[in-house]
Amino acid sequence: MEIRLSLLLLGVLLLSGAALSASRPRAVSEPLADDTLALAELEDAAALNRDNLEVARRLTTTYLRLGQPGLAIAAVRSAPPELARDPLLTHRLSQAYEASGRVADALSTAQLAFARCTPGACTIATLAALEVHLSALTMLQAWGVQEPRRDTRTALAYQLAQRTARIASLGLVPVGE
């Protein structure tokens, strides 16, 4: 009787193990989220195509959207140097530093992204986004903001930066003033 029960339990365990090994791995934190599968596929694509700028951009953007700035920083830092020099990827790194509370690093990285944004490398929309971000970070640094996510002055800095950009785009204020 004991042998039959032991064999039955062994069979159940083997079937369970086979069923589990045939399934696709998912993150422990969100086992049923479609975003988790999409992120896993994006991470796989980034690992297989390290020289693909578009995949690196999408991966860092996804990490930032999911509230994982540390992973975005790691993704940019592990990218090949020629990709890491991309103005938009440098901008994502700046955003990740800001989300991590590293305002000084975010500001210096935003300055670098803006400097790399030459006419051939950036669209007008990208240049405007970089300028707004740089302006807001300059204000945050001047105001001594330590935790941008929690400080109400962050929203004010972005409102002021966007207002200045809108006025400049209307031609009422020369750019650079």
- pLDDT tens per residue, the chain (177 residues)? 777 767 666 665 666 665 555 445 444 445 546 778 889 999 999 999 999 999 999 999 999 999 999 999 999 999 999 999 999 999 999 999 999 999 999 999 999 999 999 988 899 989 999 999 999 999 999 999 999 999 999 999 999 999 876 665 565 445 444
Q: CA-to-CA distance for 85 and 76, rounded, in angstroms?
A: 10
Per the structure, the count of domains in the chain is: 1
Question: 162 in a domain, yes or no?
Answer: yes
Residue with tokens 């991309």: 86
Question: 13 in a domain, yes or no?
Answer: no
Residue 143's CB is within 10 A of a number of other CB atoms, namely 14
Residue with tokens 């994006």: 42
Confidence at residue 54, expressed as pLDDT on a 0 to 100 scale? 96
Confidence at residue 169, expressed as pLDDT on a 0 to 100 scale? 59
Question: 27 in a domain, yes or no?
Answer: no
Confidence at residue 28, expressed as pLDDT on a 0 to 100 scale? 42
Residue 54's CB is within 10 A of a number of other CB atoms, namely 9
Confidence at residue 35, expressed as pLDDT on a 0 to 100 scale? 76
Question: 14 in a domain, yes or no?
Answer: no
Confidence at residue 173, expressed as pLDDT on a 0 to 100 scale? 47
Burial (CB < 10 A; 0-12, 13-18, 19+), residue 1, is exposed
User: What is the CATH number for 116?
Assistant: 1.25.40.10
For the record, the structure tokens of 24 come out as: 């696709």
Confidence at residue 127, expressed as pLDDT on a 0 to 100 scale? 92
Confidence at residue 20, expressed as pLDDT on a 0 to 100 scale? 57
Question: 28 in a domain, yes or no?
Answer: no
Domain span including residue 60: 33-169
Question: 4 in a domain, yes or no?
Answer: no
For the record, the structure tokens of 18 come out as: 């086979």
Question: 106 in a domain, yes or no?
Answer: yes
Question: 88 in a domain, yes or no?
Answer: yes
Task: Provide the angle, in degrees to the nearest 10, between the axes of the packed helices 87-99 and 53-65.
Answer: 20
Confidence at residue 3, expressed as pLDDT on a 0 to 100 scale? 78
Q: SS3 for 29?
A: coil
Does residue 84 contact residue 114 with C-beta atoms inside 8 Å? no
Confidence at residue 137, expressed as pLDDT on a 0 to 100 scale? 97
